[in-house]
Structure 1
Amino acid sequence: MLLTCKELSKSYGVQTVLDSLSFVVNAAERIGIVGPNGVGKSTLLRLLVGQEEFDSGTISYAPDSEFGYLPQTTPDFYGQSIQDLIMASVGNLKLMEEQMHSVEAAMASANQDRLPSLMEEYAALSTRFQDRGGYELDYKIDMIMEGLHLTYIERERAVETLSGGERARVGLATLLLSSPEILLLDEPTNHLDFASMEWLENYISTYQGAVVMVSHDRQFLNKTVNMIFEIDEHSHQLRTYTGNYDAYVEAKQAERRRWEESYEQQQEEIKELQKRIRVHGRQVGHGNRPTRDNDKYAKYFFSQNVQSAVARNVRAAQMQLERIEEDPIPKPPELLQVNSQFQSEPIQSQVIVRLEQISKSFGERRLFDRLDLTITPQTRIMLTSPNGTGKTTLLRLINGDEQPDSGTRHIVEGARIGYLAQEPGSLDPEKTIIETYRYEQVGFEGEFIGRLLGYGFFRLEDMHKKVEQLSVGQKRKLELACLLAAQPNVLLLDEPTNYISLDVLEAFEAALLRFQGPIIVISHDRWFIQRFQGEKWQLHNGRIERG
């Protein structure tokens, strides 16, 4: 057992997040943690690595085992180069190599009594060194950097100058290089293109240690995990399911059906018992009327026996009802219904946005050279190019957030562009959910609360939470709600499926299918791409390639 957790609990004030979680992680297990946004998935990982303190319970790692943690948002690594991070990440292997050399030297001069223990120590060290790739370190560095599409960046480059996606991939690469016994990953696929994602799937599938990860990528979970940990949003407890994500969904559906059937059967039993008590109770009451003078003794005796039997039946029914009420089957909670739907009037113009002869460079790196692009009401484009080709920059140019070095941008009057950035970072942390949602809108607060509840993203008790209290996934849902409220007639979406839980994701996918205006989406979510109805475009050498 590499990791053991017992009765782990965590609360923030009066809000319970995790309640008495107990589980074990063994070598070669690959575990996916799932659950709605805000349920405590990232919190659990932070507790496991000591970034937050738990209220009660225990966390224990196996002796000499190491963990590696990839947070959902990557640090900036100010003042460090990529090479600095690489050398720091393999430092444990270098230290282990030095220990091996030290033991070798001790073995050379050891007496016969000391030699066996030194040989045993050396064997253990060399086995760990080999398992963690120490004998092929240079090859491993090159393999991981190439697999995560980082070879085009000079290793002496400062990490703080990289894009968010590049920083995230560098963080993942250096974590993998450290080869810990347990990998703890929070949304590892958010900044990976197809080739890098497939490479990571294969890497995790053959990883010698254990992997525990939070992910909303359905296909990635299906290909990598052999166990699912679900954090229940109602009980705040952990439920364990064997198999990949599809097996988990199937098990959950069967579990829900059994729960609903058991609950309905018990409700029918309660109704039957209550009816029996009510009907038989009246019979007992009627039987207690005073006897008439001319009633014969035998008739009276028979009547009393009947009444006694009826009374026993009533008492038995009451006792059975009491037993049920002491430990009833709880009513299955209503599933949160997500009802995302864009409300907007289509634009009548046949040309909505036109980019003409757009050129854009960053330093010596030229992304676009005299690029032309026309967006019409029928435009539905999925951009799927590798990282670093300029997809996000193109959306920012269309939205007007980025200015071209040369060329012009034309936008038709009446176009309302809804832009969803790749990272949820534009929200005011001091505002509440409802204050953020109703910003720049006219109306009563109750009206806005009703609309926001109607989307199914949040519950009534969430309305006055501050943005700073929300998880990254909850912030993403709030951004989606604000996007819906703005009633855009043009959508520019940069990795919209990042961070949001699967229930919200499926509803959002359906909303996009019903959207009447033009859409340009950047995504590496293969499940989402398969369901997107539109053209597939790629950027290559600053040019657009269709198909």
Structure 2
Amino acid sequence: MITATGLELRAGTRILLADTTLRLHAGDRVGLVGRNGAGKTTTLRVLAGEGQPYAGSITATGPVGYLPQDPREGDLDVIAKDRVLSARGLDRMLSDLEKVQIQMAELSGGQLEAATARYGRLEERFSTLGGYAAEAEAARICSNLGLPDRVLAQPMRTLSGGQRRRVELARILFGASTENGESGTMLLLDEPTNHLDHDSIVWLRDYLRLFTGGVVIISHDVDLLAAVVNKVWFLDAVRGELDAYNMSWSRYLEARATDEQRRRRERANAEKKASALMQQAAKLGAKATKAAAAHQMVRRAEKLVSSLDDVRVADRVAKIRFPAPAPCGRTPLTAQNLSKAYGSLEVFAGVDLAIDKGSRVVILGFNGAGKTTLLKLIGGLEKPDTGEVTPGHGLRLGYFAQEHDTIDPDRTVWENTRSASPDTGAQELRNLLGAFMFKGEQLDQPAGTLSGGEKTRLALAGLVSSAANVLLLDEPTNNLDPASREQVLDALRRYEGAVVLVTHDPGAVQALAPERVILLPDGTEDHWSAEYQELIELA
């Protein structure tokens, strides 16, 4: 169980949550919802013990598995399979067993007997932890999350951000599983479906729906919330309060709408009564003999209004519009014979492409095929093993990284945007950031403290200010609420420059209306057709 008492969370001087008590029990499957920037990620991080509250206390009885939005760095030299097995200490046990086996082959006599006895003790402990059946269980979880054996055999540093995140999710789920299905683990999952294909998302829904421990999920995947949650915590950014609903997702949506209507009615009635009291007080105040009564009416009117909850206004969304791209030649970007390998693992080879002015291209391939890697090569963030990328006349690149690699977490919102557009005037830059819902003290907030949705908005603001004529977009709709996602898709539809897109979002592909597709790992180029649209979720 996790218990939070007197919890207060802040972002600078802004109160995200005030004097709140929360309890997560085994069997609770909670959807933590609220608009981008309301403090969902901060709340989850504090509940996981990885952040400190401004006030209050957090206690946890039993293990806690926490999946942050950004992949954990950790030891990048560890093998991915060992990272998963480490959730139960099996990685060390297997390593010790292998070492003793090697020793036994080289020993004899009394030394062999001692080594054999040690091997027996280690094997007994290994069996207690689940043994080879647990190892097979870990393999099943990894397979269901789209992690094949060839990926699990690689060091973590060679994996993409999405692959590392899936390894971390597999590790958390493996650590929470037990042989009989009972678990006291509390799972805190921040956007767990990011980087998962359709089959993996369906499997995860079933896993969480049957999980017997406690779960808190932040997700913009409405289908996931509808299938899994039996409670909802709504974090209201207007009031700085958390409303708890002990019901399913569909019933929550109805109850939430009813609550908002009730608050509006109460506010309207109170304002009407307060207005009448103020008018009456104004009449009485003109008479000296009734000044005290008038003063009482004013205080009553003020108290009546101040005692009510603020009415939740419609959530603001970023006003995303890509400006006219800078002039460029007919083919602003070409690449020949690109290949990339990590050690003995070849990701892809022999990729050629030509990005014409205003063209629209989708890079398609299954997880691990090298889609993000190819974008990084094109964008100059990594160097190819063979081949070269050649900029054409007037090329101005804009790159959106799915893991927000282009954002410096130690610099402020203002500093990040200023570095992305050094030639933009200060007031123009403030206006731009305001359109992306960054203003006031938020401009001085370190980018590393932003939520995933806020980082996405900040990265997009940098793209907008760049006047790029070729956009490289890697999962640009991840972490966005539905309203902000629609703004991004609308901006894609209207953009006049060239776009190279990697996404699992079918809506993003429809908005782009691509002309061509590049299939990885083969590097084959083809004209876009409806049959490729069906592969987007599967890839």
- When normalised by structure 1's length, the TM-score is 0.75
Alignment partner for residue 88 of structure 2, among 87, 90, 105? 90
Q: What is the 5 A alignment of 1:317-328?
A: 321=301, 324-325=304-305, 327-328=307-308
Partner of 1:271, secondary structure, is helix
The answer for unaligned runs of 5 or more in structure 1 is 96-128, 289-307
Deviations 1:283-327 (A, max 9, x none): x79xx9xxxxxxxxxxxxxxxxxxx9xx99989966863652563
Distance 1:488 1:242, change over 3 A: farther
Distance 1:92 1:68 in 2: 17
Distance 1:202 1:24 in 2: 24
Partner of 1:463, secondary structure, is helix
Q: CA deviation at 1:531?
A: 5.5
Distance 1:230 1:330, change over 3 A: closer
Distance 1:534 1:256, change over 3 A: farther
Deviations 1:402-443 (A, max 9, x none): 444444544432332211112123334453322322234335
Q: CA deviation at 1:147?
A: 0.6
Q: Tell me what 2:122 maps to.
A: none
Distance 1:7 1:351, change over 3 A: same
1:447 aligned to 2:428?
yes
C-alpha contact 2:239 2:309 (8 A) present in aligned 1: no
1:497 aligned to 2:474?
no
C-alpha contact 2:84 2:171 (8 A) present in aligned 1: yes
- Letter of the aligned partner of 1:399 in structure 2? G
Q: What is the 5 A alignment of 1:35-46?
A: 35-46=34-45
Q: Tell me what 1:462 maps to.
A: 442
Partner of 2:146, secondary structure, is coil
Q: CA deviation at 1:143?
A: 1.3
Number of aligned pairs? 485
Alignment partner for residue 478 of structure 1, among 443, 446, 458? 458
Partner of 2:429, secondary structure, is helix
Deviations 1:318-369 (A, max 9, x none): 6863652563554545743421111114757554433344444444433444
Distance 2:478 2:160 in 1: 17
Distance 1:228 1:376, change over 3 A: farther
Distance 2:306 2:458 in 1: 41
- Letter of the aligned partner of 1:82 in structure 2? A
- Letter of the aligned partner of 1:370 in structure 2? G
Q: What is the 5 A alignment of 1:57-136?
A: 57-61=56-60, 65-72=62-69, 73-91=71-89
Distance 1:251 1:338, change over 3 A: farther
Q: Tell me what 1:168 maps to.
A: 165
Distance 1:141 1:360, change over 3 A: closer
1:205 aligned to 2:209?
yes
Distance 1:319 1:411 in 2: 69
Alignment partner for residue 241 of structure 2, among 237, 241, 244? 237
- Letter of the aligned partner of 1:516 in structure 2? E
Q: Tell me what 2:101 maps to.
A: none
1:374 aligned to 2:357?
no
1:23 aligned to 2:16?
no
What is the root-mean-square deviation of aligned Cα atoms in Å? 3.9
C-alpha contact 1:424 1:479 (8 A) present in aligned 2: yes
Distance 2:27 2:340 in 1: 47
Deviations 1:454-495 (A, max 9, x none): x13212221223334444543332221111111222211111
Distance 1:15 1:281 in 2: 39
- Letter of the aligned partner of 1:216 in structure 2? H
- Letter of the aligned partner of 1:173 in structure 2? A
Q: Tell me what 2:31 maps to.
A: 32
Distance 1:505 1:323, change over 3 A: same
Q: Tell me what 1:220 maps to.
A: 224
The answer for unaligned runs of 5 or more in structure 2 is 94-126, 177-182, 533-539
- Letter of the aligned partner of 2:231 in structure 1? M
1:159 aligned to 2:156?
yes
- Letter of the aligned partner of 1:88 in structure 2? S
Partner of 1:4, secondary structure, is strand
Alignment partner for residue 372 of structure 2, among 392, 399, 418? 392
Q: Which segment is superposed worse, 496-505 or 455-464?
A: 496-505
